[in-house]
Amino acid sequence: MATPFAALESRLNTAALRHASNAACSALDAYGQLQAFEGVFDAASTPQFGGLMADLAPQVQCKTSDVAALAWAGGITVAGTAYTVANISHDGTGWTTLTLREA
């Protein structure tokens, strides 16, 4: 049974995603089922200061519950572009950042 804080965290994350999402995403989970979800997409940036600063990899942030069964190196489509998952980073607050690599 979820604690009262977990329920509040879930409602807050859902509301934040509803207002901030900018990309439709879909991916096959570990069971081979297509999962569709919304995410906050940050496209690859250009290098700054001669390449000394910048994370060049595109990332998408989403609710952890939406990608709980997503596998590392699995395929994902974000805003119509195919990627593979290069890194999965859960932050412990119900959000997950997926670092992507173009497929």
Q: How confident is the model over 33-66, as pLDDT tens digits?
A: 899 999 999 987 666 666 565 567 899 999 999 9
- The mean predicted confidence, pLDDT, of the chain is 86
Is the pLDDT at 96 greater than 80? The verdict is: yes
What is the distance between the alpha carbons of residues 78 and 22, in angstroms, rounded to a whole number? 10
Choose between 17 and 40: higher pLDDT: 40
Relative to beta strand 75-78, strand 95-102 is unpaired
* Amino acid 48: pLDDT: 60
